[in-house]
Amino acid sequence: MPTSFLQMECTFLDRLSTRIMGFYSFFLCLLIFSVISSNVFTAYAFKGTYGVNYGKIADNLPSPRSVVTLLKAAKIKNTRIYDADHEVLKAFKGSGIEIIIGLGNEYLKEIAVGEDRAMNWIKENVQPFLPGTSIVGIAVGNEILGGDDHELWEVLLPSVKNVYDALHRLDLTKVVEVSSPHSEAVFTNSFPPSACIFRDDISIYMKPLLQFFSQIGSPFYINAYPFLAYKSDPEHIDINYALFKSNPGILDEKTNLHYDNMFEAQVDAAYAALEKAGFPKMEVIVSETGWASRGDDNEAGANLENARTYNYNLRKRLAKKKGTPFRPKFVAKAYIFALFNENLKTGPTSERNFGLFKPDGSISYDIGFTGLRDSSGASSFIPFKVIAACITLVLLISAS
């Protein structure tokens, strides 16, 4: 064999081995990075900017299967429920709709006792539905801090820790986020936004909770309602400012930031409180916001047109995928309250009239969504059983 040919062959094999080693090194780096990142990053429950709260305090709502159809038609991919209703979780299986479930306030004292109690709850209400149903979060309690039951203030953090530890033992912390939404009652004041701080009596509970959420990578969830702010002080709050309509806005003189809508001001107030508490990098997500389409005589602003205007403009605002004046790099995200009017809710009339949709599945007002029924009352929804029967018939015909 000629010497030149042997040299060429050796050169070729050299280069090939170098490329194989290079590829191997690259693959190894990717593998190492994936292992490291899997241990660093935790679950993140909100991948879009727009979601809805699916409340069910009513006796006249569509079936959970119909709700899935409704959400898909509206292209809503994020939702929250206030319990762990198994019928809902079964109906959402395979839908691709991501859902945060609620661990109700009534369970917290029990869950706080030990991790085994949290483990039992998760094995009953979470694990059996994964991965078919996209359960991406557990909201531990709702509006606990600032509420009337001070015993719940004390058990909130132990409950949160036990839920997280149980998820960790089941290797689910990369799938299911742990959080706890708060009301505006946790703040001493929120105007101007830069002046916002947590209440002194709440801080002793809030700071350890925030420290834990910071460690596991969970956002700060706040229920923010310009409607409630306007209703409480209609003489001094510009309705246009609350509804995202044209208005002079406000200037926060400390930060020199201008706000032309109350929603962003409320979000930035939460950011300001977090910064003062020592958590400037924590993200704020609005877990509830909305506007009532009906109310009592003393509920200023509660009417159909204002509800449509607020929710239409909010949807447009969130679709821009931009931040707030104080935190421009954090994209604003919100869950709308609520999917349906809920006729069994107690309290003022407004409480029963926050729904984007009526109980029959038709729209409460037009903000661009399609309901299960059109405005004439004719159903545009094809029942699941009918679809299944059609598919079966097609398969039988094709087989013959």
- The set of catalytic residues is 143, 288
User: Residue 354: which of 399, 314, 398, 397 has the closest Cα?
Assistant: 314
Distance of CA 378 to CAs 71, 367, 371, Å? 19, 20, 11
Backbone angles phi and psi of 207, in degrees to 5: -60, -45
Give the separation between CA 335 and CA 181, rounded to whole angstroms. Answer: 12
Task: Quickly count: other Cβ atoms within 10 Å of residue 344's Cβ.
Answer: 10
Helix or strand or coil: residue 375?
Answer: coil
- Residue 286 near residue 265 (C-beta atoms within 8 A): no
DSSP 63: P
Give how far Cα 99 sits from Cα of 53, 66, 76, 179, 321, Å: 10, 16, 11, 13, 21
Of the candidates 157, 139, 156, 138, the residue with the CA atom closest to the CA atom of residue 147:
156
- The DSSP element (H or E) to which 222 belongs, if any, is strand 220-223
List Cβ neighbours of 339 (8 Å cut-off, separation of 6 or more).
Answer: 52, 53, 54, 55, 67, 70, 79, 355, 356, 357
DSSP state of 237: S
